[in-house]
């Protein structure tokens, strides 16, 4: 009887410069560069156990055994690790999201970063952060960024080149920023990001323009980070958000990720900015929740304002978080 086990925890991240679209679907390489902020306390903890008595791979998430595409994506990552070490053993994968239940924020980012770390360590590998990021990227590109803490960049890929990994961006002295998260539904998203970006790439007349302008936007965000210029950073994040949602909206059939509460929050954020002079900037991913980037000192006031918007179910303040951790 042989058993190999490891547990890892990874935080989720929110993109400031958005990833939307792939230049290589087989290797899962993004067509555009992205920059994100890893968030503290919104995490996934995953335990991987390889055992020669297991007849097949199993994947349990938040107490429910998963099948279909969800399980296949996990197995694809396990297969890559098994190939590397010459393992034949099947695995039991158990994940728990420490993200408000059914918030729809449970992104694949924290999940696949934690899985990559737990699976490699259980198999006896000790990969560098870069290598771990590369393994996570093949499963889900946003997961490549969750390997690192703070601000993280994942460059655009080059078709056929599997080496792509994310890297941490150093911003010098600490910058006390926060993301205020406003949740607007408990429902699962209708169109997952993988499918949404593929449909955008194939059918949206705006897709090519998005890919062409994304590097300049990312450059602006990188410079704003270096200068700690929240206004430039926030406005560029909003532009990146609207540009990728424009691709989704103009896809065929159209993908609309927002609900009425999303728009009401956007209006509240503009009001805070324009009428009260608070630096607050909004972003949405492949779902209707809104995340507001701001300075730490303004976060409680923004949280209160968003909590009053009709349709907002829950609000929470998230601070920047660290990279993936493997339990000793």
Judged by the rule CB under 6 A, the positions of this chain that interact with ligand DP6 are 15, 18-20, 28, 34, 108, 140-142, 193-194, 285-286
**Which DSSP letter does residue 200 get?**
H
Q: Are 21 and 33 in contact (CB under 8 A)?
A: no
Closest approach of Cβ 28 to ligand DP6, in Å?
A: 5
Within 8 A by CB and 6+ apart from 35, the residues are 15, 16, 17, 151, 152, 153, 154, 169, 218, 221, 222, 225
Give the pair of three-digit tokens for residue 127: 């990969």
Report in angstroms how near the CB of residue 227 gets to ligand DP6 at its nearest: 22
Nearer to ligand DP6, 196 or 272 (CB): 196
3-state secondary structure of 40: strand
In the bound state with ligand DP6, the residue whose beta carbon lies nearer, of 7 and 240, is 240
- Judged by beta carbon, residue 69 or residue 276, the one nearer ligand DP6 is 69
Nearer to ligand DP6, 11 or 108 (CB): 108
Count of CB atoms situated within 10 Å of the CB of 181? 23
Residue 311 burial by CB count (10 A; 0-12/13-18/19+): exposed, middle or buried? middle
Q: Report the residue number, 49 or 103, with the smaller CB distance to ligand DP6.
A: 103
Shortest gap between Cβ of 308 and ligand DP6 (angstroms)? Answer: 27
Smallest gap from Cβ 108 to ligand DP6, in A, equals 5
Closest approach of Cβ 213 to ligand DP6, in Å? 16
Cis amide linkage into residue 206, ω under 30° from 0: no
């Amino acid at each position: 009887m042989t058993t190999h086990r490891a547990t890892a925890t990874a935080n989720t991240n929110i993109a400031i410069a958005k990833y939307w679209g792939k230049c290589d679907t087989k290797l899962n390489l993004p067509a555009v560069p992205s920059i994100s902020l890893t968030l503290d306390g919104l995490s996934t903890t995953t335990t991987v156990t390889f055992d020669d008595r297991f007849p097949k791979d199993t994947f349990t998430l938040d107490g429910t055994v998963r099948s279909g595409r969800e399980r296949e994506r996990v197995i694809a990552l396990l297969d890559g690790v098994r190939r590397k070490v010459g393992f034949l053993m099947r695995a039991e994968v158990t994940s728990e999201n420490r993200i408000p239940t059914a918030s729809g924020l449970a992104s694949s980012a924290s999940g696949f970063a934690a899985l990559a770390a737990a699976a490699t360590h259980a198999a006896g590998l000790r990969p560098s952060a870069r290598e771990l990021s590369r393994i996570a990227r093949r499963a889900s590109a946003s997961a490549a960024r969750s390997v690192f803490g703070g601000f993280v960049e994942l460059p655009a890929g080059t078709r056929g080149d599997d080496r792509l990994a994310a890297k941490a961006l150093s911003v010098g002295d600490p910058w006390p920023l926060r993301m205020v998260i406003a949740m607007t539904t408990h429902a699962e998203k209708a169109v997952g990001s993988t499918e949404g970006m593929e449909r955008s790439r194939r059918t949206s007349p705006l897709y090519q323009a998005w890919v062409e302008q994304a590097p300049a936007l990312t450059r602006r965000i990188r410079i704003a980070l270096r200068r700690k210029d929240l206004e430039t950073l926030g406005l560029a994040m909003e532009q990146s958000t609207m540009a990728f949602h424009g691709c989704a909206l103009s896809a065929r059939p159209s993908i609309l990720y927002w609900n009425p509460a999303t728009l009401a929050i956007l209006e509240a954020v503009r009001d805070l900015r324009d009428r009260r002079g608070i630096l607050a900037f909004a972003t949405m991913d492949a779902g209707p929740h809104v995340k507001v980037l701001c300075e730490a000192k303004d976060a409680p006031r923004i949280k209160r304002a968003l909590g009053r918007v009709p349709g907002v179910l829950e609000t929470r303040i998230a601070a920047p978080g660290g990279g993936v951790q493997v339990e000793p």
